[in-house]
Amino acid sequence: MSSQEAIRLKLLRSAPLNSWIALSADESKIVATGATYSEVVELSERAGAGDPLIIKTPEQWSSLSV
């Protein structure tokens, strides 16, 4: 596993479950979290994050998940 993949894995595991998160363009940090997609878009824009990766986290991580 590359160091970038390890960073991404650590970030995803630390993110709140069952929520929307925005990762920085280089996927090195979480720039916003929220209950809805719209909320995360707005918060990431306020944070000045250009081109964030926005994803929804699962209700729980399975053993086969990241």
Tokens of 37: 């997609």
**3-state DSSP percent of the chain in helix, strand and coil, to 5:** 35, 20, 45
pTM of the full structure: 0.81
Residue with the larger pLDDT of the pair 23 and 3: 23
Give the per-residue pLDDT at 3: 84
Write the pLDDT tens digit of every residue in 14-64.
Answer: 999 999 999 998 888 999 999 999 999 999 999 998 899 999 999 987 776
Q: Token match 């590359």: residue?
A: 2
How many whole angstroms from its chain centre is CA 54? 6
Give the per-residue pLDDT at 4: 80
Classified as helix, coil or strand, 31 is strand
φ, ψ for residue 53 (rounded to 5)?
-95, 120
